[in-house]
Structure 1
Amino acid sequence: MTQTIVVLTEEALTHPDLRNLQTLQGEEPAEVVVLIPEDRNESVLGEFFRHLSLLEVGEAFRTFSSDDRRHDEVAARTALEQSLHLLTREGFEARGRTTAGDPVDALVQEAADSGAVQAVVITRPHAMADTFHTDWATKAQDKLGIAVLHLYSGSGFIGDS
């Protein structure tokens, strides 16, 4: 019997992300459903401070630009294609879609529709959201009523959700 793992990520999956999913999969075959938001709906202020903390002053002020919506949709589709290609190349059964609206609601709905046994959120660290437990994994865990694994993209580090 194939188990379903729903993955909500803000960018294309990487090889380290794949290793983490292989560990979760265990001996049972798994279908991975990848969801990538077209609009990450991030806190503009949180992103502003994240860029400033990394001394990316120009990028910090670009977070206030409102003309990036089309770029976000294209980037989401590209990230989805790359993720699905990587997953299938490594032997996973994979499907996915980009989402509009609240990404956590999309994760909850997909988990219910697919009968997922696991939900995983893979993001970059977001200092404000992670600190104040307003990150996607915490919100999804509250809505699903099951543990949601929060991994940091490209690493084996687990978020504090």
Structure 2
Amino acid sequence: MTQTVVVLTEDTLLDTDVAQIVETYAGRDVRFEVLVPADTDHNVLQEVVNDLGLLDLRRLWHDITNPDPDERAARTEATEALRLSLALLEAAGATADGVVVGDDPLPALTQAVSNHRAAEVVVVTSPKLLDDTLRRDWASRAREALGVPVLHLYTGSSIVG
């Protein structure tokens, strides 16, 4: 029987992310349901703390100088991230589908896990020092709410959160 694994990603999955996800579920009959939030609400103070903590000065400058995208731009960006992520998963031999969800992805994630009777969740994000330390990141929130295993991957690396 095919199991569903829900993948929540804040951006386009990278080749390394896809390879790690597909490898994790190799030998199992799974399909992936990918969720990408249309992020329109950035907490600049929180992002600045994260960027400083990780010494990511380029990202710090970006976060300070770029205002929140409007709804249309955020949805367009998320739709493109979803399209590219699905293409990469399918190119790796995986079966995948997905949707763009709202700013706070937890309600949509909860609904997707319930609707698809998902066996597991994979959350792919960049490191977020403050959120990760305080356990307010998406993966920690999902672990508290869902009752299924949640794997937290940091995009572009083999680090598991």
TM-score surpassing 0.5?
Answer: yes
Counterpart for residue 125 of structure 2: 123
Q: Distance in 1 between matches of 2:101 and 2:68?
A: 19
Q: Distance in 1 between matches of 2:5 and 2:105?
A: 16
Count matched residues.
158
SS at 2:57's partner residue? coil
Q: Which runs of 5+ in 1 are unaligned?
A: none
Counterpart for residue 16 of structure 1: 16
Q: Deviations over 1:78-126 (max 9, x none)?
A: 1000001111111111100100142011111101100111101000001
SS at 1:11's partner residue? coil
CA RMSD of aligned residues (A): 1.8
**Cα gap change, 1:101 to 1:54, in 2 (>3 Å):** closer
The TM-score normalised by the length of structure 1 is: 0.89
Q: Given residue 13 of structure 1, which amino acid in structure 2 is its aligned partner? A: L
Report if aligned partners of 1:49, 1:60 keep a CA contact under 8 Å in 2: no
Counterpart for residue 136 of structure 1: 138
Residue 71 of structure 1: how far off its partner (Å): 2.6
Shifted more, 47-56 versus 103-112: the winner is 47-56
Q: Distance in 2 between matches of 1:62 and 1:19?
A: 33
Counterpart for residue 151 of structure 1: 153
Report if aligned partners of 1:35, 1:107 keep a CA contact under 8 Å in 2: yes
Fraction of identical pairs, as percent: 37
Q: Which runs of 5+ in 2 are unaligned?
A: none
Q: Deviations over 1:19-67 (max 9, x none)?
A: 221222131221100000001645331212334532235323225x244
